[in-house]
Amino acid sequence: MENKKNQLRNYDSTCTDWTNAVIIIAALCIFTIAGCLQEETGLHGQKRPMSKDERMKWWRDARFGMFIHWGLYAVPAGEWKGKRIPGIGEWIMERGDIPVSEYEPLTKKFNPVKFNANEWVRIAKNAGMKYIVITSKHHDGFCLWDSKVTDYDIIDATPFKRDVLKELSKECKKQGIKLCFYHSIMDWHHPDAQRPFYPNYNDGKKSNPNFARYVDNYLKPQLKELITNYGPLGVLWFDGEWIKDWTEPQGKDLYNYVRALQPNIIINNRVGKGRKGMEGLSKSEEYAGDFGTPEQQIPATGLPGVDWESCMTMNDTWGYKYYDHNWKSTEDLLHKLADIASKGGNFLLNVGPTAEGLIPDASIERLAAIGEWMKVNGESIYGTTASPLGKLPWGRCTAKPGKLYLHVFDWPTDGKLEVPGLKNQVNKAYLLADKKRTKISVRRESKDKIAVRIPREAPDVVNTVVVLEIKDK
């Protein structure tokens, strides 16, 4: 900096115009730097904590993430002792009444030699996903990283002996994807947690008198490992909070514990007891957590000022089940993505890799097709907010300042797209897929209805996006 200043001064004697320009530029630089610093430093020079809006910014902009459920349950893949166990694959230990003594040896068969972090992250990125949430530990208690407080992890207990979270963490940094961890509060393997409840690990009435010991000596140290050695993380996504031994004060304490380790981290509402069942939104703001977690469903409407994320499977299981072929169509998934964005939520779409370490082909195909659509239409999803319009007969709407994105699922065949509920002046309309942004005509039909002249044939039969540039009120 000093050197530069001296250099600049040398020009002084020779060229006054330059001097003025340089002074102005230098002043601007100083103001900008000071401005930036101000954002981070408080009155007395300490770091100012981010506001919730600042902390949530990347997550709200992202709108689309990949959930990965991966663990020992991928080995039985839905079948135990020749019997197909009904229900979600990662619950096989519970649903199949499997004691720890029989489940634990699955570690010896967990050798996912085809696992490739680069490929997994690439699949997510090509789908247009901005973050990955992977199960560091699910309810079965098995750990996908080299934990120092247990041997029940991928390094100490499996022949694979590779730290997949470490590999994913490096790869996510390289490819610009936010890495996040799902972490189960409930633990069917730990003697101080739900293990003694066998054969009903999920018994809502039972309590373990040693549970506080599990929290202090196991749960918290593990979270510290994850944040310290694999972070900074995007999100900590808790689950299994419904057990009797978990209370809201414990949830608040865990929330504060995690935020103290990484102040700008985002934490879901399952850290505490606020969630309303599978509907997932919090009962009130009194409860801990930054966002609601509807599971396998999409709320009927969004709620102003409420952050939420719908998590969903592509078939009927989170963890891999070899015989679950009930895949949702790409069309359905793309409509769900637009539906969720139109209500101001995020979409966390799951994949359940095999015990070999492969994401199922059916998932890869769907994600690639979603990615194709996102490459053309991503602008209508990322950084958008909920629709300001009411229910639309043909699809959904997302918004940005000065813009509405009309997601047309059912293309009108008469060349006319009516937009009810729109009072704003429309300055321009075009198809998002049209790189030239050729203006299409718009006519006001009434005080709160316009009609856009559209081609007879839908340019994209699944979801064609029409952009309206509007005068914000």
Per-residue three-class SS string for 24-50:
HHHHHHHHHHHHHHHHHECCCCCECCC
235 forms part of the interface with ligand H79 (CB under 6 A): no
Which one of 15, 33, 278, 461 is in contact with ligand H79 (CB under 6 A)?
278
* CB atoms near residue 300 (< 10 Å): 7
Question: What is the C-alpha R_g of the chain?
Answer: 26
- In the complex, the smallest distance separating the C-beta of residue 81 from ligand H79, rounded to whole angstroms, is 22
If the CB atoms of residues 145 and 373 are measured against ligand H79, the closer one turns out to be 145
- In the complex, the smallest distance separating the C-beta of residue 323 from ligand H79, rounded to whole angstroms, is 18
If the CB atoms of residues 239 and 307 are measured against ligand H79, the closer one turns out to be 239
90 forms part of the interface with ligand H79 (CB under 6 A): yes
If the CB atoms of residues 242 and 257 are measured against ligand H79, the closer one turns out to be 242
Which one of 163, 192, 239, 307 is in contact with ligand H79 (CB under 6 A)?
239
Nearest residue to the partner ligand H79, using Cβ: 242
> CA–CA separation, 40 vs 46, rounded Å?
8
Per-residue three-class SS string for 155-175:
HHHCCCCCCHHHHHHHHHHHH
- C-beta of residue 171 within 8 angstroms of C-beta of residue 164: no
188 forms part of the interface with ligand H79 (CB under 6 A): no
If the CB atoms of residues 169 and 350 are measured against ligand H79, the closer one turns out to be 350
If the CB atoms of residues 205 and 473 are measured against ligand H79, the closer one turns out to be 205
Piece in contact with ligand H79 (CB under 6 A), picked from 74-82, 86-94, 97-105, 384-392? 86-94
Which one of 62, 68, 74, 88 is in contact with ligand H79 (CB under 6 A)?
88
CA dihedral sign, ordered 378, 64, 406, 409: positive
324 forms part of the interface with ligand H79 (CB under 6 A): no
Find residue 398's DSSP bridge partners: 405
- In the complex, the smallest distance separating the C-beta of residue 127 from ligand H79, rounded to whole angstroms, is 19
Which one of 110, 214, 318, 430 is in contact with ligand H79 (CB under 6 A)?
318
Which one of 58, 80, 198, 242 is in contact with ligand H79 (CB under 6 A)?
242
Which one of 267, 311, 355, 367 is in contact with ligand H79 (CB under 6 A)?
311
If the CB atoms of residues 68 and 470 are measured against ligand H79, the closer one turns out to be 68
- C-beta of residue 413 within 8 angstroms of C-beta of residue 456: yes
If the CB atoms of residues 69 and 366 are measured against ligand H79, the closer one turns out to be 69
295 forms part of the interface with ligand H79 (CB under 6 A): yes
Q: Provide the b/e sequence for 87-105 (b: ≥16 CB within 10 Å).
A: ebbbbbbbbbebebeebbe
Beta strands in 401-440 (DSSP E): 403-408, 416-420, 426-431
The count of residues interacting with ligand H79 (CB under 6 A) is 10
- C-beta of residue 310 within 8 angstroms of C-beta of residue 297: yes
Piece in contact with ligand H79 (CB under 6 A), picked from 44-52, 74-82, 83-91, 282-290? 83-91
Structure tokens at 406: 């009309």
Binding mask 4-33 for ligand H79 (x = CB under 6 A): ------------------------------
DSSP character for 215? I
If the CB atoms of residues 91 and 142 are measured against ligand H79, the closer one turns out to be 91
If the CB atoms of residues 204 and 304 are measured against ligand H79, the closer one turns out to be 204
Beta strands in 53-149 (DSSP E): 64-68, 79-80, 83-84, 131-137
If the CB atoms of residues 92 and 355 are measured against ligand H79, the closer one turns out to be 92
CA dihedral sign, ordered 247, 219, 287, 258: positive
- Pick the closest to residue 465 from 381, 365, 371 (CA basis): 381
Piece in contact with ligand H79 (CB under 6 A), picked from 87-95, 106-114, 159-167, 358-366? 87-95
Which one of 45, 209, 277, 304 is in contact with ligand H79 (CB under 6 A)?
277
- In the complex, the smallest distance separating the C-beta of residue 350 from ligand H79, rounded to whole angstroms, is 8
Structure tokens at 471: 């005068």
140 forms part of the interface with ligand H79 (CB under 6 A): no
Specify the residue for token string 């720890």: 100
- Pick the closest to residue 201 from 245, 162, 237, 161 (CA basis): 245
> CA–CA separation, 2 vs 25, rounded Å?
16
If the CB atoms of residues 121 and 312 are measured against ligand H79, the closer one turns out to be 312
If the CB atoms of residues 359 and 419 are measured against ligand H79, the closer one turns out to be 359
> CA–CA separation, 143 vs 137, rounded Å?
5
In three-state secondary structure terms, 72 is helix
198 forms part of the interface with ligand H79 (CB under 6 A): no
- In the complex, the smallest distance separating the C-beta of residue 257 from ligand H79, rounded to whole angstroms, is 22
Enumerate binding residues for ligand H79 (CB under 6 A). 88, 90-91, 239, 242, 277-278, 295, 311, 318
